[in-house]
Amino acid sequence: MKPSFAYALVFAGMLASSNAMAQEQALEPVVDAANEINQSARSSQLTVDKIADSTQERMQQYKQINRQIEGLEVYVQQLERQLQSQQVEQNELSASIDEVSVVERQITPLMLRMINSLDTFIALDVPFLNEERQSRLASLEELMDRADVDVSEKFRRVMEAYQIEAEYGRTIEAYNGEMELAGQTQEVEFLRVGRTALIYKTRNGDSMGVWNQQQREWQPLDASYKNGIQEALRVARKQLAPDLLMLPIFANAQAGE
Q: How confident is the model at residue 255 (pLDDT cuts 50, 70, 90)?
A: very low
Residue 86: the pLDDT is: 84
Nearest to 212 by CA among 169, 167, 255: 255
Pairwise pLDDT comparison (252 vs 176), residue with the higher score? 176
Residue 72: the pLDDT is: 81
Neighbours of 50 (CB within 10 A): 10
Res. 37: pLDDT tops 50: yes
In a domain, 188, yes or no: yes
Q: How confident is the model at residue 251 (pLDDT cuts 50, 70, 90)?
A: low
Q: How confident is the model at residue 256 (pLDDT cuts 50, 70, 90)?
A: very low
User: What tens digit of pLDDT does each residue of 146-159 get?
Assistant: 989 988 899 999 99
- Its pTM stands at 0.59
In a domain, 190, yes or no: yes
In a domain, 240, yes or no: yes
What residues form DSSP beta bridges with 250? 255
In a domain, 192, yes or no: yes
Reduced to 3 states (helix: H, G, I; strand: E, B; else coil), residue 187 is strand
Residue 13: the pLDDT is: 58
In a domain, 143, yes or no: no
Residue-number span of the structural domain to which 256 is assigned: 173-257
Q: Please answer whether residues 209 and 185 qualify as being in contact, where contact means their C-beta atoms are separated by less than 8 angstroms.
A: no
Q: How far apart are CA 98 and CA 237, in angstroms?
A: 51
Average pLDDT over residues 179-197: 89
In a domain, 213, yes or no: yes
In a domain, 128, yes or no: no
Neighbours of 107 (CB within 10 A): 17
Q: How many domains does the chain have?
A: 1
- Distances from the Cα of 108 to the Cα of 18, 70, 141, 142, 169, angstroms: 129, 56, 12, 14, 27
Reduced to 3 states (helix: H, G, I; strand: E, B; else coil), residue 210 is strand
Which residue type occupies 234?
R
Relative to beta strand 184-193, strand 197-202 is antiparallel
Q: How confident is the model at residue 65 (pLDDT cuts 50, 70, 90)?
A: confident
Res. 4: pLDDT tops 70: no
